[in-house]
Amino acid sequence: MASGGTVFGGFRCEALVGSGSSPEARACLKALVRTYGELLAIYSFMHMALKEKSMRLLIGELADRATEIKRSVRSSPAGSPGLAGQGHALSHLGRADRLLVEAEEHLQRGVLVSDAPLLGLLSNAAIELKRSAAILGTTTFDTTACCGGSLLGHGEEDHGSAFDLGA
Amino acid sequence: MGAHSIWVLEYSRSPVHPVSGVFYGAHNQGTMNLPFAYILIKTGDAVVLVDAGHDAADFGGQIANSIGVTGWTPPDLVLGECGIRPQDVTHVILTHAHFDHIGGLKFFPNAKIFIQKKELESWMWILTKGRRFRSLQAGLNPADILYLTQANIEGRLKLVEGERENLVPGVHVYPAFDTHTAGSQYVVVETAGGDGKFVLSGDVIYTYSNLTGGDANDPCFVPPGLANGSQTRLIESAEEMLKIVGMDERRIVPMHEEQLSKIYPSRQTDRQLMLVEICLADGDVSRV
What pLDDT, in 10s, does the model give residues B202-211?
A: 999 999 999 9
DSSP B134: G
**Is the Cβ–Cβ distance between B114 and B92 less than 8 Å?**
yes
For residues A19 and B12, the model is more confident at B12
Indicate the helix (H) or strand (E) that contains B160. Answer: strand B157-160
Task: Assign A154 a pLDDT band (cuts: 50, 70, 90).
Answer: low
Output the pLDDT for position B247: 95
Q: In chain A, whose CA is at the least distance from the CA of B220?
A: A166
Residues 6 or more apart whose Cβ sits within 8 Å of residue B241: B186, B199, B201, B204, B205, B252
| Residue contact A45–B18, C-beta within 8 A | no
| Residue contact B62–A143, C-beta within 8 A | yes
| Least confident stretch, A17-26, A53-62, B194-203 | A17-26
| Residue contact B143–A68, C-beta within 8 A | no
Q: In chain A, whose CA is at the least distance from the CA of B159?
A: A52
Q: How far does the CA of residue B69 sit from the closest CA of chain A (Å)?
A: 14
What pTM value is reported for the model?
A: 0.86
What pLDDT, in 10s, does the model give residues B248-284?
A: 999 999 999 999 999 999 999 999 999 999 999 999 9
Asked if the model's pLDDT at residue B21 lies above 60, the reply is yes
Output the pLDDT for position A144: 62
Q: A128-140 as b/e, with b when 16 or more CB fall inside 10 Å?
A: bbbbbbbbbebbb
Q: What value does the mean pLDDT take over residues B148-167?
A: 92
Q: What value does the mean pLDDT take over residues B35-56?
A: 97
Write out chain A residues lying below 8 Å of B140, CB-based: 41, 141
What pLDDT, in 10s, does the model give residues A77-101?
A: 655 545 555 678 888 999 999 999 9
